[in-house]
Amino acid sequence: MKYKLLYTGVLIALSLMVLFSLGSGIWGGEAGGHWTEQLFRGVCHQIPDRTFVFMGELMAVNTRCFGIFLGLLTGWGLIPLLKNRVFKKKWPLACLLFAGLLQIIDYSGNLFLLWENTNSSRFLLGLPLGMFSSIVIADLFQST
């Protein structure tokens, strides 16, 4: 693997991002102005009814963002294990595009009142989007 130090640094950063996204429940303190909520305010709308509760407190990010963050971490962790299956292949990009399309379909179906998405469905659809985002860039960390 090329750039092992960079890979490890990104793995640590993604782990911290997932840990911080758990919000004030893990860190103590009150929700509503906790530093973890402030940290993610620019990237997540943080609507309370679209947010999981962790340890009795709302998480710092909504369910879809948490799914994406956890998917990014999972996909990043899988890069060394999948190196021969994804290196110079096109299927990870196709999966990423499909995961993005699922987001659009889910949002549109909810918008046009065809169905109502739930926190679980938002989380489950965010996971593959994050995971395949990480896997698509796996080629950058493989030796040629």
For position 89, what pLDDT does the model report?
83
60-74 pLDDT, tens digit each:
999 999 999 999 999
Cα distance between residue 100 and residue 60, in whole Å: 23
Give the residues of the chain that fall short of pLDDT 70: 1, 30-32, 141-144
Amino acid identity at 32: G
| Alpha helix (H) residue ranges in the chain | 4-21, 24-27, 35-40, 63-78, 83-86, 91-111, 119-136
For position 1, what pLDDT does the model report?
66
40-60 pLDDT, tens digit each:
999 999 999 999 999 988 999
Domain boundaries, the chain: 4-141
